[in-house]
Structure 1
Amino acid sequence: MASDARQLGREGTIDAVRRLLSARFELQPTAAAIPDDVPLFSVGVGLSSMEGMELLVELEKEFGVEIKDVESWVYDSPTLANVADRLIELSEKRSPT
């Protein structure tokens, strides 16, 4: 069963994304040590664009959402906080309360 970003809230969604990053990628620093506002790509955490695509696939599976604007998710320097906010927004669009 997919996680619901709306129910998890921002901090819970950030934690879920951190767990996903830890399980899928070998990061230095570890995912637990990544601040919420550090970019996941380029000069921040340093995920490659290929890893970014893998991350998006995992996010879609984990949260049961469809990410259509792939380029903006990978190239607009998303942070854990940005990713959480966007996942919550997609969850709300999928199933409004």
Structure 2
Amino acid sequence: MTKSVIFCLLIILAESATAAIGGGDNIDFAPLPNEFCNDDARQKHKNLLSQYPKDEGIIKLNAYFIGLCQLAADGNISEHEASIFWAEQRDALLQKRQTLKK
């Protein structure tokens, strides 16, 4: 039951997570189960980091992504858990930036 609720929340989050992170750029990272640490997601992180190389929030979010994917690859956490942890950090960054804009 809990997994179903979390999955539904992630789908809702993915549908509504087009908030700006830097320079008006939109993030389309959808933390879907079993698709969080794939090549496409890694490339999106690399592209975002290369686009905003001095953005501390983007750097931290990228480092968090890399670390979580390594933990998932090592079997310490599931990829699904990694996606949830990353989404929490992303949401905190988005909320912080939205607050600063006001």
TM-score (norm 2): 0.37
The structure with more radius of gyration: 2
If asked which structure has higher relative contact order (CA below 8 Å, sep 6+), I would say 1
Looking at secondary structure, tell me which structure has more helix per residue.
2
TM-score (norm 1): 0.39
